[in-house]
Structure 1
Amino acid sequence: MMFIGGFAIMRNWKKKTLGGVLAAAMLVSLVPATSALAADDTAKTTDSQSQPATSCSVNFRVNGYVVQAGTGVGNLTCDSTVAQAVAAVKGSFNVPSGKVISGWTLNGAKINTGAKLSEPEFAANAEGLPGGAILDAVLKDAPQPAKTFVVTVHANGGTFQSGADKGHQGDTSFTVTNGSKFVSKLPKVSRLDHEFVGWTYDKAGKSKVLDSDFISANTEVYAQWKAVDVDPGASVKTFTLTVHTNGGTIKGGEFDGQAGDLQTTVGQNQTVLSVVPTVVRDGYVFKGWSTDKDGKSIVAATDVISADTQVYAQWTKQPVRYTVVYSTNGGNINGEVGDFQLQVKKDETLLDKLPTADTLKRDGFTLKGWTYAETGTKLDGNAVTKTDKVTGDLYKVVARWEPTDVDPGMQVEQFNVVYNTNGGNINGEVGDFSVQVAKGDTILDKLPTADTLKRDGYVLKGWVYAETGTKLDGDSVQASDTASADVYKLLARWEPTDVDPGMQVEQFNVVYNTNGG
């Protein structure tokens, strides 16, 4: 059993520790009350009267793991309900992937989660666990997310009059949910001197999209048009539109794939943006159209064709971005823990992009900053400063924490010590961990022991300095070593247990680093 954030977690009913904190059973004193079993079960009674309970708890068992909740956990009291206890510790439940909890049972019978923790059914368990009754989770399959499909729409010479590509020609794509009606999702289109006659699944117009058709797969549809005879008496004037892609390439429409300059004929009073093509350019972001090459005269949504017109595509270069990996180091962001990634523009200030104490939380600790780790450079172990700029991909930086329960009058400085299990595991977890050590405290006293750090076929023989960038690298951590600065990092030292003692073979420890592998 181990306590994390004020509640106990047990697996196979063996007492365990984590981060140097020893789990302790919660005392239980219960008072007879109304049955916690479902309403259709017979209520139990008692002839004796007890004093009101001051300490109550229950054990929640999910997928073989037990989490204890009760008084002392958050705001729980003996008057709290099972549902409130679940809410207090649900973040520690070991729910299998693809499953959700649909209810709880006690000895096979469904319970009422509105029952109080002080009810007699929760007083004890028959399996020898500390605390009260064991409530088993009822698991069911998690709801499956709705399937989505991509619909690709070909305007087929027309112009989109609605949707994200309004005013553009060519093709557009969007995602829809399985079972959606086709017609309700398709954009409006128009085409000069043509009448829209419907949608088809083929370019030739033979397979029509019906009003009753539903979306059940990735699909392409084509707008179909009928030419309209122009009244000669109407004297509709046309003009030449010259398009300069300015380094870009046309996407979709009759000029798909073409680059450079092209000309097309358009009708008087058509809006300019409704007749220009869609253009793309690798490494650039499209900013819009202008009637001059320098981009000073921007084409507005209300501008119409009234003469021969030239337009120029305007571009801005995409900024260089780098990937920064950071570790919450025991903290959480909206309940999520571990390593995260973010994209940062070149030469932006690193600290401005990392989470702050407003979003990164850890019970009992205050975020004090960030430390470089595993970068493979001389930065490792150094704090991230206000002037540090991002000049390349960065792996990684680690959150640095300070306990909040230190006596302010003592002004004890805390240091972050990172250690690596080096093939071993702590409750199944492997890799890098960190622990806060007060200035002057003995480092070995804060590191895991053989009781908690395990490795099949090996015995933990101690710890070795590694990657500190100091003369300590390669030396063993001594019983007299105390914390005087952040330490990155220490490696567990192991000795095989299956060596024949009679052989008297001397064993050596080889420390290696995967260096990003």
Structure 2
Amino acid sequence: GTEVKLYAVWKLKEGAGYRITFNSNVDNNVEANGIPSDDEITEKTKVEGVEGFWYTLPSVSPVRKGYTFKGWAAKATETDSAKIYVAGNKVEIKTDTTFYAQWEINPTVSYIANGGTFAEGKEIQTASYAAGSTVLVVNPREIDEETPAILTRTGYTFVGWSTSDISGDTEIYGKANSEGAVSEFTFKMPQKSVVFKAKWIKNVYRENVIADSDAYKISYTGSYSDEEDGTTKNTELASVKLTKGETISGESTTDYVGNIENIPHDADLTLMVKVDSTYKADDIIVKVNDAEYKPVSIEVETVKEPETGSEGGNDPEPGEETIIPEDGKGATTLTYKISGITSNDFGIKITGAVKKTFNINYVSSIGTIPDDKVTSYTAGGSTVINVTPTESTNKYTFAGWYLTADDAKNLTAVPVTAIGPEARGNKTLYAAWNGKNYTVTFNKLYGTNGSTNDTNTQELSFGEEEALKAFSVLFPETTGPNGAEFLGWALSEEAAIAHKVTYTDGQKVVDISEADDPKTEDKDESAITLYAVWDITKVNITFDANGGKFTGDKQTEARQIDYATSPAAIFSELESQEKRPVYPGFTFKGWSTNKDASSKDTYPEKQSEDATYYAVWDAGTTTFTYYDNDSKVKKTDTVTYGTEVTIGKVKNEQNELVDVLESTDIPEGKVLIGWHTSKATQNPNNEITFAQGEKITVSTTNAVPDLHPVFGDTNKHVLTYNLNGGKFEFKPEVQELEKEENKYSKTIIGTKPVKEGYVFAGWAEDAEATYESQNLIQAGETYEYIEPAEDIVYSHVLYAIWKPVTYKVIFNAGKVPVAAADIINKDAADKGTPVLKEKLDENLVVVEETSDSQEPADSTTTTAKAYAQTFTYGVSAQFADPQFDYPGYTFKGWSDKADSTEVVYKNRQAVLNMVDEMDEDAEGKAKEKELNVYAVWA
């Protein structure tokens, strides 16, 4: 019952043309517009020289929603672009042809909220755009009150759309400029779809902080979730110092306020409140929106001493010294946990800080601390220390306060004048004192041979331990009496003489002026005198008759007394009529240390060292009376004992020596050869007491009152001997010289004269000759005289020439004796000996050491060295200082026996006439005697 329409189908005749139809190439339920109507081609045309049925496709392209028309093809799905023909193309038709529309789906633009929420009914729909078309990006922000935002997210701010579909790189489209304005943003649609993802940033908050003081610094760290990449991120804020008087919400406040910036939305906040070390942190209260929080941790900094002189590296104010806290406590940091910051609707309030107050204690070992002293200080401020203790002894000057007892003692730091802002903790300040100076006077007390000064001084300070100057520095090259060793210092001369040592050489001392000599009741604290103590107990005094003789024909007398005691009794004894020496022709006047003195010394109150005193003589006079051949007085010559005269000659008014007898006084054919105490009639043998022109030193033994001339023949020469203080065992006769032409000679006496302390050196015609003179005539040799043409001498005198006895003292090294039982290694023991110095003192010579030991010498042992010093008879001299180094041992003196520990001679011992004669060598020549002494060590 349905009506059906049927349509006729026609086909052109073959060769007459072809039918052309167009197919939309879409599903029946999809609309495509602009599909051309069927057509036919019946005429051939020629295109580019090819004849055929050429069909021109319609110039209008069909359209389809969501697609782009690409052209016509003979197949429904054509992949060969060369077989897809666009509108207006000419196509050769060779059969009935159906053209199918070729479509390409258009790309889309879609928007994703990315955690945000679209307003109801305001979702942005996905839309498709033809590739290459211009697309306007949607702006979801609030435009004005009438156009609210269509996309929002709590706690976040929309910043634009993110996509990588347009350029290939992720970019933000639709960003606001610096003023927040957004202009329209378009882009060319690519061949592919574009997806925009909303880009959000977390809102950050600026929270108010209110505090009751400037004690606090605020900082925080926070963590929050980042939905963009699904991670947890951290944020932080550096320390913020609260300041006074800022405004909050437009209102001013007297509180200390600040703000913590950039707190991310929904962050978990770790709030750090750093309390300045000048405040106590025990009672700090932190409230957030009136909710009190408790700290999750409390950390106290340890204060380190700053390198620049004050805590924290800041230099102190002038006159103010930074003090490092004794307890080492610095700032306190309290940490709080605050969660879920979602808005700007909360504030933080901090209270409870209280300034720290500390005690100041004062310590002074000297003086009194005033009652009105500063006893406390407040942290963070500067407290001036103007406390000055008083001191009553007048020994010290206050030098300031110091942080440690050592600093106060040594004055090694800067004194504290104020407690600075960085100081913390209770303080103990120690008073420093500068001791005033006092003078120590050193008296070398009989020290000799060095410094010409008897005293020297040293300035010391009260309260300071200081070393006394070394004796060798105070008195260079000074030795004790008789070379005694220095033992130390005594408080008085009496104590020094009694060997009471109070201070040793170089000893460290403190305030010794308080120990001044109690005997003097000296109250002067500014000075003290110390006296040298010497290792000497006895003093030897030698008295030399100096030409005279003591009872028993002795030349010297010796006495010994205690060191530094009065010798008055000895001088009284040896000046008495019974004990004094006698010198015929001289008057005794007393004693002097100068052998040639003309008056006696003022005797010392105390004798401190060995000494030799010489008798002082007042010489008398005697008169020589000269007679002529008739026994008449010719001349008189009054002379002083001890002076030299020339026999037969006197001085005229011009003080010239002239002959007593004139030529007319001499008998014809005779010559004056000498003088005799008897006149010629009583001297038949012509003996001679003195030769004419003989030089004598006048003494009571040779001072004769009358001298008569003795004459001889003109061809006769005589020889006499002047013993010059010596003596023969016999009286030598006058010898007559034997003549041979004009030469006269005589073999002189072969016996040598003797003289105590001297060695006979020979005979000389010159009374002034010495033992070093040339051409001395020895005993038994021949004396010759060649008679000149004029000024002939007929009376010849030979004078005995003497050389003082010299002797050597050999100083041997000695050694500390070791018992044989104690010697484990003999070689090692032998090596431990004193060593002779490389350079000896002047006038000393090296010799081989000698030994009194009876043990046989070991041929493998090297002989130790010794040295010698030469002494002269009649000359007092001292032993030289020891010339040995013996590490670990002290030289004590000299012994006269090897291996003996008995000290016979002290260092620098003065000696006189240890021997009075010399030895003889194998040829009979004089040889020095040698005395050995041995060093004693301890």
Which TM-score applies when normalising by structure 1? 0.21
When normalised by structure 2's length, the TM-score is 0.14
Greater Rg, structure 1 or structure 2? 2
